[in-house]
């Protein structure tokens, strides 16, 4: 009887742990970025002779859609990159550029990511786009039902990847208006494969007021 009680207790504890792992109780809490925080981020180009510049250059004139990539080799990140790239024709009509930032450059990982992403990619060595409060999902992610759903969705969509590079620091997507218009959309990945809604991205992009247009109305 004692062994049965221990077994039942262990099973109950495991079930409770699994239940809690599938709630938001233990998820890293995100902190919203301010425009001033994003503006001061140092980015680097990926050329042989990289240029360092402030992130505000990306959106100063026409605003921008920016993906903070969790890991270029991740098939879930490639899926989201393809989703955002599908918006490129409409973003081009609006005059809004599409960019991505990565936190590391390993071998050909960025180059291999580019077929999925139709915008320019920059290096954020200090991982500032993943802050102000950097969030991680560790191995708990692999017992979350939502993550497994995302795995199957991406696999069924024909996406594949590898395990190269750091993949626990969660990414996100920003839509930033021109000049001082501010952050129009901030999506923080809460678990592996938690994609931004492309419709929301496009709606936010339509709110961007290019600096040239603002000058003409004066």
Torsions phi, psi of 164, nearest 5? -75, 135
What's the number of CA atoms in the CB half-sphere (13 Å) around residue 113? Answer: 33
Q: Single out the catalytic residue among 74, 98, 147, 196.
A: 74
Whether 3 is a known active-site residue: answer: no
The distance from CA 91 to its chain's CA centroid, rounded to whole angstroms, is: 18
| Strands (E) located in 22-136 | 42-44, 52-54, 64-68, 98-102, 120-123
The distance from CA 146 to its chain's CA centroid, rounded to whole angstroms, is: 17
The distance from CA 201 to its chain's CA centroid, rounded to whole angstroms, is: 12
Q: Single out the catalytic residue among 69, 77, 100, 137.
A: 77
Cis preceding linkage at 132, omega within 30: yes
Angle between helices 75-85 and 145-156 (to 10 degrees): 60
Whether 74 is a known active-site residue: answer: yes
Residues belonging to the active site: 74, 77
């Amino acid at each position: 009887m004692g062994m049965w009680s221990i077994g039942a207790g262990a099973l109950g504890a495991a079930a409770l742990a699994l239940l809690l792992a599938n709630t938001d109780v233990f998820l890293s809490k995100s902190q919203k970025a301010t425009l001033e925080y994003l503006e001061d981020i140092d980015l680097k180009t990926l050329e042989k002779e990289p240029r360092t510049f402030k992130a505000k250059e990306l959106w100063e004139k026409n605003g921008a859609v920016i993906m903070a990539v969790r890991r270029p080799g991740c098939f879930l990140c490639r899926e989201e990159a393809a989703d955002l790239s599908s918006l490129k024709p409409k973003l081009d009509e609006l005059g809004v550029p599409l960019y991505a930032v990565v936190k590391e450059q390993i071998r050909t990982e960025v180059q291999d990511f580019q077929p999925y992403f139709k915008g320019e990619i920059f290096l954020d060595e200090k991982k500032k786009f993943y802050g102000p409060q950097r969030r991680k999902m560790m191995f708990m992610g692999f017992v979350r039902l939502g993550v497994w759903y995302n795995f199957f969705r991406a696999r069924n969509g024909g996406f594949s990847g590898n395990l190269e590079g750091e993949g626990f620091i969660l990414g996100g997507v920003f839509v930033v208006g021109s000049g001082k218009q501010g952050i129009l959309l901030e999506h923080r990945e809460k678990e592996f494969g938690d994609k931004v809604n492309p419709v929301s991205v496009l709606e936010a992009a339509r709110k961007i007021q290019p600096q040239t247009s603002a000058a003409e109305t004066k």
